[in-house]
């Protein structure tokens, strides 16, 4: 769904849905209009401020309900989900599903000069690990069904595993919440960007508790083949993963998707 269509959907929802959820008076997050409640009026206030040159909120910190450090359409989406779809409380984030072990991954693979697979993964505790396969290693093979399970990913990430560090829990949850929105796309076409460079992919995993299956959500792919998740949520996750977790600058991307 395009950004303009999504905004239109939100505006339509505002005129057809009503409701009010009392807020804790000591917590201002999400109380955009400052009336000590979080309700439809806060969504309306934020939309008018962002897109209609409306009144500036008294407390801008109250608008950053998804804790990304930015105030944008994702905050509006967050409030709608909180009020009408049993979403997480403002500034609280979303809990990781029971049973989900792996959350984020940066993967590099290259077959040009012999098999090479390496990457960095973040698990549900916020622990970061590196893994690697060399020319003489048996290539990692995904499930024949195409459905990833924990055992499939264990086999991948346990190979030559090295512990790197741990990120704070609130940081993990802040970006985990954005995965659902990123999973809705849309995605750019795949383009050929380089030759013999290999492919680096930044992704997150969605988990189906009922089946134990993992669904890969691509944020950005660069290298021989390049593709971009056009969701604002995916852009935020990619910037964080590439710069803070991978340690590279987005200003120095080689063989990226052409802008």
pLDDT band at 16 (very low <50, low <70, confident <90, very high): very low
Asked if the model's pLDDT at residue 70 lies above 50, the reply is yes
Between residues 147 and 225, which one has the greater pLDDT?
225
pLDDT band at 31 (very low <50, low <70, confident <90, very high): very high
**Largest pairwise CA distance in the chain:** 65
| This model's pTM is above 0.95 | no
Asked if the model's pLDDT at residue 131 lies above 90, the reply is yes
**Among the ranges given (127-136, 142-151, 167-176, 224-233), the one the predictor scored with the smallest mean pLDDT:** 142-151
For residues 124-135, average pLDDT:
95
Average pLDDT, the chain: 85
How many CB atoms within 10 Å of residue 234? 27
Could you give the dihedral angle defined by the CA atoms of residues 203, 207, 212 and 213, in that order, rounded to the nearest 10 degrees?
-40
Which residues sit opposite 207 in a β-bridge? 214
What domains are there in the chain, each with its CATH number? 3-84 (1.10.1330), 102-252 (no CATH)
Asked if the model's pLDDT at residue 8 lies above 70, the reply is no
Collapsing DSSP to helix, strand or coil, 65 comes out as coil
């Amino acid at each position: 769904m395009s950004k303009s269509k999504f905004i239109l959907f939100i505006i339509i929802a505002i005129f057809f849905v009503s409701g009010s959820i009392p807020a804790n008076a000591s917590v201002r997050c999400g109380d955009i209009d400052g009336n000590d409640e979080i309700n439809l009026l806060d969504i309306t206030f934020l939309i008018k401020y962002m897109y209609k040159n409306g009144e500036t909120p008294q407390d801008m910190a109250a608008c950053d309900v998804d804790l990304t450090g930015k105030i944008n359409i994702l905050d509006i989406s967050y409030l709608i989900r909180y009020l009408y779809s049993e979403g997480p409380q403002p500034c609280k984030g979303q809990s990781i599903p029971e049973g989900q072990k792996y959350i984020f991954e940066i993967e590099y693979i290259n077959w040009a000069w012999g098999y090479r697979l390496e990457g960095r993964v973040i698990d549900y505790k916020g622990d970061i690990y590196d893994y690697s396969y060399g020319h003489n290693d048996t290539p990692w093979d995904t499930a024949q069904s195409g459905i990833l399970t924990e055992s499939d990913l264990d086999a991948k990430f346990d190979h030559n595993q090295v512990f790197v560090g741990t990120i704070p829990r609130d940081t993990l949850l802040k970006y985990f919440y954005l995965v659902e929105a990123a999973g809705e796309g849309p995605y750019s076409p795949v383009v050929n960007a380089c030759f013999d460079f290999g492919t680096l992919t930044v992704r997150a995993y969605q988990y189906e508790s009922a089946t134990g299956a993992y669904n890969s959500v691509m944020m950005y792919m660069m290298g021989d083949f390049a593709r971009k998740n056009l969701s604002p949520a995916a852009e935020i996750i990619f910037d964080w993963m590439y710069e803070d977790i991978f340690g590279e600058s987005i200003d120095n991307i080689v063989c990226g998707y052409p802008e």
